[in-house]
Structure 1
Amino acid sequence: MMKWLGYFLSDHTQDMTDKKSEEAPIRRLPEQEPEVIDKVLQDSWQNAKQITLQLNDDGYLNVYNISGIVIGANDNLIYLQTDKMVTINVNDIRHAKLKEGSKPI
């Protein structure tokens, strides 16, 4: 029974670490001009490069980050491939940048 206590404790510690990183506040990046955002999205789409987007949420009070590769666009929507496909309204993007070390796939 004693040897299992260490196992449960390490799982609990890892779970708490994961939750803490999820709850950490996200630093608000400066809002970019639409032309700059469009350039980053185009580069991701044409060269299959990973990007990180910061999106406005909850009436522009909160922000969150999402990373992936642009796989398509339609009107004001882009389709971002993360671990699943995500549809994002371009007007919700606050900041866009190429991920450091991103190379074409």
Structure 2
Amino acid sequence: MSNPDFDLDTVKHFFEHDYHDRGMMKWQGFYLSDHTAALNQQKQQLNEVYVPRPQQSLAEITQLLADAYQRQQPVIIQLKTVDQNNRHWPDITTLIHGYNANDIVIDADRLIPLQEIRNVAYKKTEKL
């Protein structure tokens, strides 16, 4: 499709000198309330301080995890991992889906090395 009035130099000049791309400003109108609520929640979580619980022994951790696995009871796991500001990551509340000698399986496909676990506690469940 050839247009005799089309001049590539004019187009090139327009984009180099006349056109001003507003960057992300043009996309800000597309955020839905669900998106902004999720972003605000994520920001709040980043500002929360997670107090380190006591370091448990490997034997204690494996015993608690094995018991939770057998009973299919959810646990709260605190990892040793900290962010760049030396704050602990948020706790992981999950069921244990399996384990091997070095790892536990959560969320059906995520492995957590036992050496990375700082503390394990049973999640308190409300009784009816």
Q: Same fold (TM over 0.5)?
A: yes
Structure 1 runs (4+) deviating above 3 angstroms are 10-17
C-alpha RMSD over aligned residues? 2.8
SS, match of residue 44 in structure 1 = helix
Residue 85 of structure 1 aligns to which amino acid in structure 2? D
Contact 1:56–1:62 at 8 Å: present in 2 too? Answer: no
Q: Which has the higher strand share?
A: 1
1:15: Cα distance to partner?
4.5
Identity fraction in percent: 25
Q: Aligned partners of 1:11, 1:47: CA distance in 2, in Å?
A: 36
TM-score if structure 2 supplies the norm length?
Answer: 0.59
Higher relative contact order (CA 8 A, sep 6+): 1
Q: In the alignment, what sits opposite 1:74? A: 100
Alignment of 1:26-37 (within 5 A): 26-37=50-61
Q: In the alignment, what sits opposite 2:70? A: 46
User: In the alignment, which of 45, 62, 69 is matched to residue 22 of structure 1?
Assistant: 45
Q: Evaluate the alpha carbon distance shift between residue 16 and residue 35 of structure 1 in structure 2; reply closer, same or farther with a 3 A threshold.
A: same
1:78: Cα distance to partner?
0.9
Contact 1:50–1:102 at 8 Å: present in 2 too? Answer: no
Contact 1:49–1:102 at 8 Å: present in 2 too? Answer: no
Q: Which runs of 5+ in 2 are unaligned?
A: 1-30
User: In the alignment, which of 109, 115, 127 is matched to residue 85 of structure 1?
Assistant: 109
SS, match of residue 63 in structure 1 = coil
Q: Deviations over 1:25-68 (max 9, x none)?
A: 21111111112211210111101110010011259x54322111
Q: Which runs of 5+ in 1 are unaligned?
A: 1-7
